[in-house]
Structure 1
Amino acid sequence: MTLLERQFNGTTNAREVLLEELIDLGRDIIDSRDLDLLRENANLNGESFSGKMSKFGSEYSKWYARNFTMPPQLVQAIDDNVVYVHDLDQYAIGTTNCIFIPFDKLLREGFNTGNGSVRPPNSIMTAMSLVAIIFQSQQNAQYGGVSANKLDYDLAPYVTKSFAKLFRKGLDYFDEGQANESLGEITMSRTDLAELYPKAFRFALKETEIETLQAAESMVHNLNTMSSRSGGQIPFTSINYGTCTSPEGQLVISSLLTATMNGLGSGETPVFPIQIFKCKQGVNQQQGDPNYELFLKAAECSARRLYPNFANLDAPLNLQYYDPSDPDTEFATMGCRTRVLGDRFGRNHCSGKGNLSFNTLNLVRLGLAHGTVTGRRSVADEVGFYEDLNHYMDIALEGLLHRFNIQAAQKAKASDFMMREGVWEGGENLAPEDSVGELLKHGSLSLGFIGMAECMKAMYGKHHGEDMEVHAKAVAIVRHMREYCDLKSEELNLNITLFATPAEGLSGKFTKIDRKVLGSIPGVTDREYYTNSFHIPVYFDLGAAQKISLEAPFHEYCNAGAISYVELNGNARNNPSAFIKIIKYALEQQVSYFSINHPIDRCSNCGYEGVIGTNCPSCNAHENDVHIRRLRRVTGYLTGDYQTRFNAAKQAEVRDRVKHL
């Protein structure tokens, strides 16, 4: 008996309905009839052969999970348009989401990709090449992002190896004596060697700088060209750096920034890796700090290339587990915003764990049910709102727990590289047939939310950027959700966290259904998208400082991750002092993770970069005659061209963005 026959007990009608659904879905994919479906992932060419093939498998897997795997009440909550299950296509097989990779361990000990073993590197050039390979290998063991949380620290030893090798070569070249055991460890900070062997030291320093820059350029190029994920997508990579103060670590940071500013082969802005500069008082925030010049360089790079984003290590939330002697306890993030620093089981550091899965709540639908904007009531029913919020959080959490049980039951061999090589901490101690549940408990399960602005508009007639009383109510809702997550963490003895959802494809999905059911409601459902998490709407006109100060209070409650942006015009790269002032203000306001958006257009005819209208200001080429690549940020990361990669909702959001001057 088939699955359909078992599910519907031989009811022909029901089987035919479901089969018809699958047939229609197939035509939507084959004929590219539903571009929003094919453009759910802005970093994938969904209209390519491989993209369509990937989408076929993805959509069937979602269909299977809904009909044969998920709890019925979760399916109903999805049908109610209140809960969204992210990466539903991975649900039934128990794949996990994202991870911070322990590059120090893998590079120090070597690793095996499954087809062959790799020795520890003896130079920075080889080490950076292996970083790309590790990223690619781990990406195949999961569905979300892969991140390096302290790449400057992880790569510094291999700069030392290159420098030592080149210093010994310099001694031979300049007849300053042969290297011997009495020299001890040769590092870039050895001023005594610089005095004793000045020519060899200068030679080694210069050659190491050249090699490290070449290595950084090679890594950036590899991470933008290695299509390894299904559908021809390159690995979803993030790198965090900025606090290593050794000369070797500083060279890694500087070289990554230079390579990013140089761009790809024809000067294009790299889309990956997402880069995050970690900001820390006493390290890189004031004149005289050892890495302050690198912070200035990071701001210059961000003004030119949109990366790096900026992580605030001094935000109270991020200081909770900070140990100055252990860089692994520094706050770091996946590029879109994921945060996994805390662990109730004691692994209060970043590397070797990640987020397992997350579900998102549509706050707008709850606001419409209990607010004033529909005319059903004159005063918002806040009691009813919170009752429904708790009800749907219970269902969303039940779905996370159900999915966690599937994930925990998987055998180590199912995520071969991740467990065998100890990418997930402790995985190397498991036999292939062992289940992974005891290790996965160190990861996080997250509840997310979207559309706070439209929810407030539905409840009170104003969003939280228009009225401070409404703003306080919005903060109270997020605080309540965080308290719920903390309470459930204690009850269930798991890491339950609150996520300010990075809504890419989801931003339009909720809206489309709500508008179909409830009609077009001004300020709520009349646009193609709901506003990202707790953000002030992109179309609301206000200054940069005001937007930052309004969004800052939400960050401390979102312990699974959050990001805030401001939007500048195309002159951002020409005003570095203003750029730096904005970043520092966001850090002072305790924003945990921050970035500045500004448009970057590129003319394929002459290579001009900046803001391009209908005609290129450099060569006057018309947009219909040449390709104008319009780079924009989606939810923390960049895309090749928002007009061909974004779905309709995100394109509409980009068009609506006002400048926060």
Structure 2
Amino acid sequence: MKTCRSFLSPYKDENGNYKFYGRLNQGVVTLNLVDIALSSEGDYEKFWNLMEQRTELCHKALLCRHKRLEGTLSDVAPLLWQYGAFARLEKGEKIDKLLHNGYSSISLGYAGLYECVKYMTGKSHIDSQEGHDFGIKVMQFMNDKCDQWNKEHYIGFSIYGSPIENTTYKFAKCLQKRFGIIKGITDRNYITNSYHTFVKEPINAFDKLAKESEFQALSLGGAISYVETDGLVNNVDAILEMNKFIYDHIMYAEENTKSDYCQICGYDGEIKIIDEGGELIWECPNCHNRNKDKMNVARRTCGYIGTNYWGKGRTQEIKERYVHMTDIAEDL
């Protein structure tokens, strides 16, 4: 089983009834779309050839995961396999029947659609028609690959917007090592999650959700969109309008609000991230406390709300997020 954004395709049991609860995911292998774009040097023919090669590499890696699970006995985790979390198999029974025919999914992850499109077209996939069309082609290519593999193996391949919590930094550092610093592409310690709008992009919440919804609809194995907000305690009407809009326009989205507290001075506003010579430091703007043990910070990372701080890449990404909805009611 994977993260909160994982999505299972419809499945009917032996009685023809739809079943959603208790199913599972066999794992994910993530495609670095930025690396493919940079490796192509902007040549479209080379780009699509590399997409063929890299998706096939992911295909083989996913089959390794699948084959590693085959033959596993239900006894290894009775709570999961025998007592109903995933299934109610007999003791000593193999889990194999749950790995085939779409009962469980297996995910082709992807990351960095924004940087990929930006490098290839010079434009964003969100704010330009050319970028949008190329981004949709990339998403459709991955969907077509999953359809092809499903016909070959009858397993349950689908594409998945990987959260890349720590991998965002790992991917960014690998890209810098391979390709150097490229303005707007590799000049930061993170790459953009899945199909998301670039975090610095000045766009209002409703436009962001509306535009991302088209890409989310092609991320059939799981995805999540977010809106970055202030506390919104003085703008409750905005939350209600936002939730209505989410319901009507997109499958899965959340608001990223802040919930911080300084244990030294009692400040309960937003704890800031200060850049001192390239080192990112959490600091209370009221008393300038920098002791992490004396403050509480909560941020949504890529789906989950975390309170234990983050690596360099994700911390920079959090610092640079554009606020799509403020605590001022007039914005609505």
Tell me the alpha carbon deviations over residues 590-623 of structure 1, each in whole angstroms, 9 at most, x when there is no partner: x11100112221122465533245557xxx5441
1:549 equivalent in alignment to 2:210:
yes
Q: Distance in 1 between matches of 2:112 and 2:156?
A: 24
Tell me the alpha carbon deviations over residues 428-478 of structure 1, each in whole angstroms, 9 at most, x when there is no partner: xx232x321112322111101000011012111222134222112101211
Q: 1:393 corresponds to which letter in structure 2?
A: T
**Which residue does the alignment assign to 1:376?**
none
Tell me the alpha carbon deviations over residues 559-606 of structure 1, each in whole angstroms, 9 at most, x when there is no partner: 211000111123x122111111122223322x1110011222112246
Larger relative contact order (CA 8 Å, sep ≥ 6): 2
Is residue 341–residue 348 contact of structure 1 (8 Å, CA) maintained in 2?
no
**Which residue does the alignment assign to 1:583?**
243
Report the CA distance between 1:341 and its aligned residue. Answer: 4.1
Q: 2:53 corresponds to which letter in structure 1?
A: H
Matched residue of 2:300: which SS? coil
Matched residue of 1:600: which SS? coil
Computed over aligned residues only, the root mean square deviation of the Cα atoms, in angstroms, reads: 2.1
1:431 equivalent in alignment to 2:91:
yes
Q: 1:647 corresponds to which letter in structure 2?
A: G
Q: Distance in 2 between matches of 1:539 and 1:388?
A: 29
Q: Distance in 2 between matches of 1:523 and 1:449?
A: 19
Is residue 632–residue 641 contact of structure 1 (8 Å, CA) maintained in 2?
no
Where in structure 2 are the equivalents of 1:541-620 lying within 5 Å?
541-570=202-231, 572-589=232-249, 591-605=250-264, 608-612=267-271, 615=284
Counterparts in 2 of 1:347 and 1:410: CA distance versus 1, 3 Å:
farther
Q: Distance in 2 between matches of 1:348 and 1:397?
A: 28
Tell me the alpha carbon deviations over residues 522-545 of structure 1, each in whole angstroms, 9 at most, x when there is no partner: 111111010000001101111112
Matched residue of 2:307: which SS? coil
For normalisation by structure 1, the TM-score amounts to 0.45
Q: Distance in 1 between matches of 2:224 and 2:61?
A: 25
Q: Distance in 1 between matches of 2:323 and 2:288?
A: 25
Structure 1: 5+ residue runs without aligned partners?
Answer: 1-97, 99-143, 145-333, 373-380
Q: 1:545 corresponds to which letter in structure 2?
A: F
Is residue 11–residue 20 contact of structure 2 (8 Å, CA) maintained in 1?
no
Q: Distance in 2 between matches of 1:350 and 1:553?
A: 24
Q: 1:631 aligns with which of 295, 298, 301?
A: 298
Q: 1:445 corresponds to which letter in structure 2?
A: I
Higher percent of residues as helix? 1
Matched residue of 1:358: which SS? strand
**Which residue does the alignment assign to 1:648?**
312
Q: 1:636 corresponds to which letter in structure 2?
A: G
**Which residue does the alignment assign to 2:28?**
358
Q: Distance in 1 between matches of 2:284 and 2:176?
A: 37
**Which residue does the alignment assign to 2:99?**
440
Structure 2: 5+ residue runs without aligned partners?
Answer: 273-282, 326-332
Q: 2:86 corresponds to which letter in structure 1?
A: W
For normalisation by structure 2, the TM-score amounts to 0.87
Matched residue of 2:159: which SS? strand
Q: 2:253 corresponds to which letter in structure 1?
A: F
**Which residue does the alignment assign to 1:657?**
321
Matched residue of 2:141: which SS? helix
**Which residue does the alignment assign to 1:472?**
133
Q: 1:407 corresponds to which letter in structure 2?
A: L
Is residue 24–residue 104 contact of structure 2 (8 Å, CA) maintained in 1?
yes
Matched residue of 1:565: which SS? strand
Counterparts in 2 of 1:520 and 1:354: CA distance versus 1, 3 Å:
same
Where in structure 2 are the equivalents of 1:294-443 lying within 5 Å?
334-335=3-4, 337-343=5-11, 348-372=18-42, 381-427=43-89, 430-432=90-92, 434-441=93-100, 442-443=103-104
Matched residue of 1:610: which SS? coil
Where in structure 2 are the equivalents of 1:63-212 lying within 5 Å?
98=1, 144=2
Is residue 30–residue 108 contact of structure 2 (8 Å, CA) maintained in 1?
yes
**Which residue does the alignment assign to 2:280?**
none
Counterparts in 2 of 1:627 and 1:422: CA distance versus 1, 3 Å:
same
Q: Distance in 2 between matches of 1:647 and 1:624?
A: 17
Is residue 284–residue 290 contact of structure 2 (8 Å, CA) maintained in 1?
no
Task: Report the number of matched residues.
Answer: 310
Report the CA distance between 1:425 and its aligned residue. Answer: 2.3
Counterparts in 2 of 1:440 and 1:415: CA distance versus 1, 3 Å:
farther
Q: Distance in 2 between matches of 1:496 and 1:371?
A: 29
Q: Distance in 2 between matches of 1:344 and 1:651?
A: 42
Counterparts in 2 of 1:656 and 1:551: CA distance versus 1, 3 Å:
same
Where in structure 2 are the equivalents of 1:179-328 lying within 5 Å?
none
Is residue 361–residue 449 contact of structure 1 (8 Å, CA) maintained in 2?
yes
Is residue 343–residue 495 contact of structure 1 (8 Å, CA) maintained in 2?
no
Counterparts in 2 of 1:416 and 1:465: CA distance versus 1, 3 Å:
same
Q: Distance in 1 between matches of 2:271 and 2:46?
A: 49
Is residue 362–residue 451 contact of structure 1 (8 Å, CA) maintained in 2?
yes
Q: Distance in 1 between matches of 2:17 and 2:192?
A: 34
Counterparts in 2 of 1:543 and 1:426: CA distance versus 1, 3 Å:
same
